[in-house]
Amino acid sequence: MTSGSQEEEAARARPAIGETIIGAGVLVLAIVMFWQAMLIPVSPLYAKVGPTVVPLMTAAALGLLGVLLLIDAWQGGWQPEEEKTVKPDRAALLWIIAGLVLNVALIGPAGFTIASIILFVCVARGFGSKAIVRDALIGAAFALIAYFGFATTLGINIGSGWLESTIERVIGVEGG
């Protein structure tokens, strides 16, 4: 169950870039954690088992694991062959990321429904749908149902913009 025989890995060993970055990232995280944990003030009352003991242990463990990951990475990495052969579809990812970023940016100023419609259209586009108008309409219906469903059944107030307020004013509060 653990990674296959090391000799064979080493035989075709070439440092793997993606894995090296991940290993280094884990190591950097561990160092930042260590540094942040040292900044936590400890009252002498709790000197033995204070608030820093477990954070420091976690940082140490993560640091060790980061080193082990780096060693693995330098021995050729661990990414499954099947994943290596598939080049991720950059355009699809970019559409979705654009949708997410726009959503964060707009959910406050424009309200939940509008931000959701844009997210919906972008994600659908990322998955190859070209029917923007249809997607926007479905997204709008979906977002409004979700909005009123959440608002009424779970009592959650999701950021409302002019669209939601207008609808609420026109029809009163709808049951989800």
Partner 1 sequence: MDAFSQLLNGFAVALTPMNLLWCLLGTTLGTAIGVLPGLGPALTIALLLPITFKVEPTAAFILFAGIYYGAMYGGSTTSILLNTPGESATIVTALEGHKMARNGRAGAALATAAIGSFVAGTIGTLGITFLAPVVVDWALRFGPADYFSLMVFAFVTVSAVLGSSAVRGLATLFFGIWLGLIGVDLQTGQARFTFGLPELLDGINVVVVAVGLFAVGETLYVASRYRFGKDEIIPLSGSLWMTLEEWKRSWKPWLRGAAIGFPIGAMPAGGAEIPTFLSYYAEKKFSSKPQEFGKGAIEGVAGPEAANNASAAGVLVPMLTLGLPTSATAAIMLSAFQSYGINPGPLLLQSQPQLVWGLIASLFIGNVMLLVLNLPLIAIWVKLLQIPAPLLYAGILVFATIGTYGITQSPVDLILLYLIGGIGYLMRRYDFPAAPVIIGMILGPLAEQNFRQAMTISAGDWTVFFTRPLSATILALAALALFGPKLYQLAMRPKPDHVPGDA
d(CA 41, CA 9): 45
Contact between 156 and partner 1 by CB under 8 A: the answer reads yes
Q: Is the dihedral of CA 23, 25, 29, 35 positive or negative?
A: positive
Q: How far is the CB of 163 from partner 1 (least distance, A)?
A: 15
**Per-residue exposure over 102-132, b if at least 16 CB sit within 10 Å of its own CB, e if not:** bbeebbeebbbbbbbbbbbbbbbbbeeeeee
- Nearest alpha-carbon partner for 121 in 105, 111, 134: 134
> Does residue 50 interact with partner 1 by CB under 8 A?
yes
Does the protein bind partner 1 through residue 133 (CB under 8 A)? no
Contact 20, 74 (CB under 8 A): yes
Is residue 14 within the footprint of partner 1 (CB under 8 A)? no
What minimum distance in Å lies between the beta carbon of 105 and partner 1? 9
Is residue 81 involved in binding partner 1 (CB under 8 A)? Answer: yes
Per CB under 8 A, the list member of 13, 15, 28, 89 interacting with partner 1 is 89
Choosing from 96, 98, 102, 167, the residue that interacts with partner 1 (CB under 8 A) is 96
Residue nearer to partner 1 on the CB measure, 47 or 170? 47
